Amino acid sequence: MKRLAVYCGSATPADPRYIELARHVGTALAQRGIGVVYGGGKAGLMGAIATAALDAGGEVIGVIPQALVDMEVANKDCTQLHVVDTMHQRKQAFTDLSDGFVTMPGGVGTMDELWEAISWAQLGYHSKPVGLLNALGYFDGLVAFNTHMAETGFVREAHRGIMIISETIEDLVDKMASFTPAKTIVQMRAEDL
C-alpha cells in the first residue's frame, strides 16, 4: 500500500488524546512510507495527521471542496492539494488516489465516508481494504452495531470481514496489507442475495 485515505474529524475534541492519536497515525504512516490522502483541512484531527505526516517526511494529499477553500480552512502545506466542486467528487478522489481506507474518530462526515467505502466494497466498486481504527474505544458501539447487522442478516456472511478493525495503527496497517477482497454483490447469483 503506497497511499491510504484517512477519514477523521475536523473538530478538536476537549480530550487531547484524540489529537495525539492523529499525530501518531500521521507519523506512523510516514515512517512506513505510506502517503496520506485526507480531507485537505488544517483544523482538528485532519490538521494534526497532515502536519505529523509532513513533519515525518511523508506525502500528504489533500482533497477539499471549493466551498471549504473559500472558508479558508484548506491546508496549503500539503504535498498536493486537489480542489473539487462537490463532496461526491471528494470521496471519488479518495478512492482513486488511495490503496485503502482508514477511519479514525470523527463525526457525521467521517461516518459517511466509512459506510460509503464499505458499501462500495460490497458492490464491487473497489476491492481495497477498509480499516477502522478503534483507538480509545471510540468505535465500540459501531463495532457492536456492525456485528448486530450481520447477525440479523443485513450484512452478508461474505462481507462480514470488509471492515478490518484494530486498536493500533500499526496492527491495522498490517491486517490491511494481508486483506483478501470479498466476493462482491455483482459477482453473486440472485439466489445468494
**CATH number (domain holding residue 45):** 3.40.50.450
Q: Which residue has the cell 492523529?
A: 22
Distance CA 159, CA 157 (A): 5
Q: Given this model, what pLDDT does residue 149 score?
A: 96
pLDDT tens digits along 164-174: 999 999 999 99
Task: Say which residues have a Cβ less than 8 Å from residue 185's Cβ, sequence separation at least 6.
Answer: 122, 123, 124, 156, 193
Residue 145 belongs to domain spanning = 3-192
pLDDT tens digits along 20-72: 999 999 999 999 999 999 999 999 999 999 999 999 999 999 999 999 999 99
Torsion angle of the four alpha carbons 105, 111, 112, 114, in this order, in degrees rounded to the nearest 10: 80
41 forms beta bridges with: 74
pTM: 0.94
Q: How confident is the model at residue 191 (pLDDT cuts 50, 70, 90)?
A: low
- Per-residue pLDDT for 185 more than 80? no
Q: Given this model, what pLDDT does residue 186 score?
A: 67
Domain count, the chain: 1
Instruction: Provide the greatest CA pair distance for the chain.
Output: 52
Q: Which residue has the cell 462526515?
A: 109
pLDDT tens digits along 90-134: 999 999 999 999 999 999 999 999 999 999 999 999 999 999 999
Q: Is 64 helix (H, G, I), strand (E, B) or coil?
A: strand
